[in-house]
Structure 1
Amino acid sequence: MTSDSADVVIIGAGPYGLSVASHLADRGIGYRLFGTPMHTWRHHMPEGMWLRSEGFASNLSDPHDAFSLARFCGDHGYDVGGWGVPVPLEVYCEYGEWFVEQTKVCVEDTHVLQLSRAGRGFVLDLADGDSVAARQVVVAVGLTHFRHVPAALTGLPSELCAHSSSVRGGIGTSGVAGEQLQPSTFAGREVVVIGAGQSALENAALMHEHGAHVRIVARGGSVTWNPLPHPLDRPTWQQLRRPVGGLCTGMRCWMAEHGPLAFHALPNRTRLHLATSSFGPSGAWWLRDRIEGKVQILYGHETRSARVEGSQVSLELAVDGERREIRADQVISATGYRVDLDRIPFLDADLRASLRSEGAFPALTRHFEASVPNLYFVGAAAAASFGPVARFVLGARFTARTVTRQLAARSRRTHATPAARPPTTRSDSLRTS
């Protein structure tokens, strides 16, 4: 039995889920949005972090582009977010709260346990014991379920090896909700960070600055550092040759940002290759001085195996065909995320079996619709269909506008059945800040 119904249900209240909800509300389309606003940003990113993306590339999307990060910072007296001025994580989380308040997006702070098909629609079982029927569903789970840990580390106990998304609080190394695991936790300890991207470099810098003895293990022979932002007042010919984009500077970056539909038209194999290989590991320009000469980086080292010895971890590394062993009190796997439909826990087995995939990504139409009608995937899960811009907040504007147009068209065709209004009286489950 279901206690309520909705025209559209959105699963996930991160930048993509909030943006889609804002656009739906503007069109008067009934929706329900389940999740904790900005949960991943609040609980799975390190305290003291700065955003790698420029402020103008980090906006949540509303239909009238009225509630940008720049406006929030200006209204609240924050001297950040301008060109070449990084945005602290805490400010960005405040911006997310402000966006919800300004757009009056309705968020129900509960999570979905199971999503199943029911005729032409769906049924969602919620953690609060409720069930909801929906005509259309948008899955906007971000990266939460896609943390990647190399096989060599998976046998280690959770108290000795954590994914970098645990270095914040919320879910700690033991997996216990509410445990605080912050960079200051590692003061005086020997820490090895696996990886050479932004997450690895920034976690290493923060831990070092809090008194940890940190080493970075990198497979490559160098770290790729993003360059200083190009001046905005460059000559016109330079701007045309290397346009400034939200992902980076250059024609390749501009195409990735402005050509998601062109990307969708590429052959499947090409799209999948580009989605998994483009915009690889790199570090922000403002992080370089905090790493070089301060944190040791073991270049060209590949982690082969790991075992527990006493209270430490012994890592076996391969370098230039030779074996090397190092020890640490704590290993941080800053090895990113890999989208995999099978790792979304709330997808019912029958529903999952009905979904056509491209690699481990869902196969999507030009409107973000999956092979199961009325089911949509946005954010990182859409990267194989629309390109690397879907992995960044920058892609929220295109996504929200595209998905909303399709949902609105579907809603008009099924107008004979009244759509549910967003809940406004269930104060026990509604969160708007």
Structure 2
Amino acid sequence: MYDLLVVGSGPYGLSIAAHAAAAGLSLRVQGRPMASWRDHMPTGMFLKSEPWASNLSDPEGRWRLDRYCAGQGVEARHGEPIPVGTFASYGLWFARNALPCEVDERAVTRLRARPGGFEAALADGEVVYARTVALAVGVLPFVRFPEALHGFDPALVTHSSHHAELSRFLDRDVTVVGGGQAALETAALLAEQGTRVRVLARADRLRWNDVPPPLERSWWRSARSPHSGLGPGWRNWFYAERPGLYRRLPGGVRARVAATALGPAGAWWVRERVERAVELRLDQEIVKAKEVAGAVHLDTVTRSGVPGVLRTEHVIAATGFTAAAGRLELLEEDVRSRLAPGALEAPAVGPLFESAVPGLFLAGLMTAPAFGPAMRFVQGADYTARTLVRGVRQRLRGPAVRTAVAHGRRTATVPAPAAPARPVPEATGTGE
């Protein structure tokens, strides 16, 4: 039986594994490394985060993105976006160097609690046992569609995270729904390959991030608006650097931040590409959609009540993700139902990322309502990995954990759960 099973091997899963290995835990990591970045983002996309804010985490900080880039003959510069493909390759390099074991690419298809820990069934039927589990499944289980677009054939409606390449849309008419980075960059790539493309968004105007200020500035400019992994400014600095303090904020404040902070916006470097080549239909919400003769007909309405109609060959919903407990389908129902009072709510987590199910730790987007916006980005991986592994070690050696000898081996009994944390609103995010 392993001390820790890490389910998922993206930036959070690999960072947790690196810290767990350094702590001497017996470890197993399941899942295709960097799958979201390798398999669900088209060639030509870039990281929105600064290179220095996109490091995976190991205890000594040895395996940084800038070090990987230097080994490839590329300099990771402030203010210059990193290609998604480079970042994915960096994650694979990190896994080879920071982890003592190879990542097992087989997916976990079912996870259930059992006496002494957890039982995980893999895609080929093998069963793995672990005393604790870190669930770092990324954003793909949580794709969000507008209600009007539910139930369509994927030939007509897809999510932006469903595409590793966009060539199937060459010379076609495509409508991208959303006003964030995923929508705008997808639309730019489509236009640049010859697709007739438009962006349809509820907002009456698009928001664009500013060109970042220089990394080296006068002390007083830095004091007025410090750099952070989530952008300049003291508020962003607090979200990025103090997730533990963020968690202590009143629930109402955290709910407001979750709904408003770091909302949909395009990176400064994609603005010209969109404005020169993409049709923009703003202040329009989809109220009804139907298939007609192999195309999608959209009925829209503006905030002032003006109706509209649009016919398009394909709709790409770049409408983000909702981290609801009910969408964790790999969990057995009895485990899933204990994570949150309602299936559409985000799971509650304690100060060390442990869920209401003892021994089950959560990471990434699921923890954004508790620990703040940093958990929607790679920036949050360092705090999560350090804190979560501390929680795992505490769970394994805590005074409430009883050991027994059975047939010549030690077995651990996980104690009854403590009262779960007060529920907080669902986590939402649009991704990098």
TM-score, normalization by structure 1 = 0.90
Q: Once the two structures are superposed, what CA deviation does each residue of 1:178-209 show, in whole Å capped at 9, x if it has no partner?
A: xxxx2222111111110000000000000000
Instruction: Please give the root-mean-square deviation of Cα atoms over the aligned residues, in Å.
Output: 1.7
Q: Report the counterpart of residue 417 of structure 2 in structure 1.
A: none
Query: Counterparts in 2 of 1:168-317, with a 5 A limit?
Result: 168=164, 182-317=165-300
Question: Which AA in structure 2 matches 1:226?
Answer: N
Secondary structure of the 1:117 match is strand
Q: Report the counterpart of residue 409 of structure 1 in structure 2.
A: 394
Query: Counterparts in 2 of 1:71-220, with a 5 A limit?
Result: 71-79=67-75, 81-106=76-101, 107-168=103-164, 182-220=165-203
TM-score, normalization by structure 2 = 0.90
Secondary structure of the 1:257 match is helix
The reply on whether 1:342 has 2:326 as its aligned counterpart is: yes
2:175 and 2:199 in contact (8 A); partners too: yes
Between the aligned partners of 2:151 and 2:355, the Cα distance in structure 1 is 35
Measured at CA, do residues 340 and 356 of structure 1 come closer, stay the same or move farther in structure 2, by a change above 3 Å?
Answer: closer
Q: After TM superposition, give the deviation of residue 408 of structure 1 in Å.
A: 2.2
Q: Report the counterpart of residue 354 of structure 1 in structure 2.
A: 338
| Structure with greater contact order relative to length (CA < 8 Å, sep ≥ 6) | 1
Q: After TM superposition, give the deviation of residue 357 of structure 1 in Å.
A: 4.9
Q: 1:393 aligns with which of 351, 361, 378?
A: 378
2:37 and 2:85 in contact (8 A); partners too: no
1:156 and 1:306 in contact (8 A); partners too: no
Secondary structure of the 2:141 match is coil
Q: Once the two structures are superposed, what CA deviation does each residue of 1:19-39 show, in whole Å capped at 9, x if it has no partner?
A: 010011112110111101001
Q: 1:14 aligns with which of 6, 10, 14?
A: 10
Between the aligned partners of 2:238 and 2:8, the Cα distance in structure 1 is 28
Between the aligned partners of 2:376 and 2:360, the Cα distance in structure 1 is 19
Secondary structure of the 2:92 match is helix
Q: Once the two structures are superposed, what CA deviation does each residue of 1:265-307 show, in whole Å capped at 9, x if it has no partner?
A: 1223332332243211000110011011321111111111111
Matched positions, count: 402
Q: Once the two structures are superposed, what CA deviation does each residue of 1:364-395 show, in whole Å capped at 9, x if it has no partner?
A: 11100111111110111110110010111011
Secondary structure of the 1:361 match is coil
Structure 1 portions without partners, runs of 5+: 169-181, 421-433
1:311 and 1:329 in contact (8 A); partners too: yes
Measured at CA, do residues 87 and 419 of structure 1 come closer, stay the same or move farther in structure 2, by a change above 3 Å?
Answer: farther
Q: After TM superposition, give the deviation of residue 12 of structure 1 in Å.
A: 0.5
Between the aligned partners of 1:239 and 1:131, the Cα distance in structure 2 is 52
Between the aligned partners of 2:247 and 2:331, the Cα distance in structure 1 is 25
Measured at CA, do residues 278 and 293 of structure 1 come closer, stay the same or move farther in structure 2, by a change above 3 Å?
Answer: same
Q: Once the two structures are superposed, what CA deviation does each residue of 1:371-428 show, in whole Å capped at 9, x if it has no partner?
A: 11111101111101100101110110111111112222333446966699xxxxxxxx
Secondary structure of the 1:129 match is coil
Provide the identity percentage: 40
Q: Report the counterpart of residue 428 of structure 1 in structure 2.
A: none
Q: Report the counterpart of residue 375 of structure 1 in structure 2.
A: 360
Q: After TM superposition, give the deviation of residue 105 of structure 1 in Å.
A: 4.4
**Greater mean alpha carbon deviation, residues 30-39 or residues 226-235:** 226-235
Secondary structure of the 2:37 match is helix
